[in-house]
Amino acid sequence: MSTRPVRISLNYQYYLSAAIYKWIETSSPEYSAFLHDKGFHIEGTIKRFKHFCFSRLLPRQSRVDKKQAQLLILSSDVEWYISMPVERSLQHLVTGMFEKREFFIEREENRFVVEQVETLPDPQWERSLPAQRVDPRPRRESSTGHAGMKFTMLSPLTVSTMHERNGKLQPYYLRPDDARLAAALQTNIVHKYESLYGAAPEDAEFRCSLDQTYIERQTAKGRRITQKITIKEGRTDASEIIGFTCPITIEGNPVLIALAYESGLGEKNSLGFGMLEIANDK
């Protein structure tokens, strides 16, 4: 993408999500409505997943204005990664992107133009994964071998539990040191698998561990790895989500690891959370 230098709120994730839905809608209004309103669900439950994730904006040059809570983009080139494991979603995204190359953040003068689209090669997983996906659900495949891989986060990770507050059930977002974090991430990825394949995985092993050395180093420098992001900032239906950014190692079923990589780890993936990148030192 390229754009002139602009200032945008640090809470820009909603606009990126809206752009993705708009591109899909340009190709297929019916499929966009299905993905936005329904998504992929587990039979007999209310759990639904959109099965896409995206990175934060990655300008060549930028500066954060903490006082104004703004990102100042200084370069004309900006990279942005989007991941979708469902072939039909990806096809509609690309079709719409080529038909309508522009989108904006906050206001129309903050206009971004898509100049180049590239497909990145799939990682070399420990075990071969489905080479071709059947729409709308990929082929089911189980795994017998286990793998461990280290990832960095291209967008913050968030996962929550429900608790009662003022007589209402509300999400409580888990912090990096919460003992429930690993179990919540494992439950989430199993549910994502079920929503695509129609059954639970035969091998549900999926263990996540954060890089404690990184956390200690950031703490020593007085830096927080958690952040609060406002979705639909400035609107009456705005909501706040707490996430964090930290290297993470995932061990277990390679099929589940691949799904976390492609669909996103944790919750709120379609709003700009949980995109992973394989760490360079792996």
pLDDT 10s digits, 182-219: 999 999 999 999 999 999 999 999 999 999 999 999 99
Q: Can you give the pLDDT at residue 132?
A: 37
- 234: closest CA among 81, 8, 83? 8
Beta-carbon neighbour count of residue 117 at 10 Å?
A: 12
For the chain, list the strands marked E by DSSP.
Answer: 6-9, 40-41, 48-49, 53-54, 58-59, 62-65, 70-73, 78-79, 82-83, 102-105, 107-113, 147-153, 160-165, 168-173, 206-210, 226-231, 239-244, 248-252, 276-278
What is the rounded average pLDDT for all residues in the chain? 90
SS3 224: coil
The residue ranges of every structural domain in the chain are 6-278
Give CA torsion, residues 64, 76, 24, 272, to 10 deg.
-20
Which residue(s) pair with 150 in the sheet? 249
Q: Fold for domain 6-278?
A: Alpha-Beta Plaits (3.30.70)
Per-residue pLDDT tens for 106-138? 998 899 999 999 998 888 775 534 433 444 444
pLDDT at 126: 59
| 3-class DSSP state of 50 | coil
Least confident of 70-74, 99-103, 141-145: 141-145
The predicted pLDDT at position 148 comes to 78
How much is the pTM? 0.90
Q: What is the DSSP letter of 121?
A: P
- Per-residue pLDDT at 222 exceeds 90: yes
Distance CA 2, CA 152 (A): 25
Average pLDDT of span 211-238: 96
Q: pLDDT at residue 142 above 70?
A: no
Question: Partners of 148 in the beta sheet?
Answer: 251
Q: Is the per-residue pLDDT at 140 higher than 60?
A: no
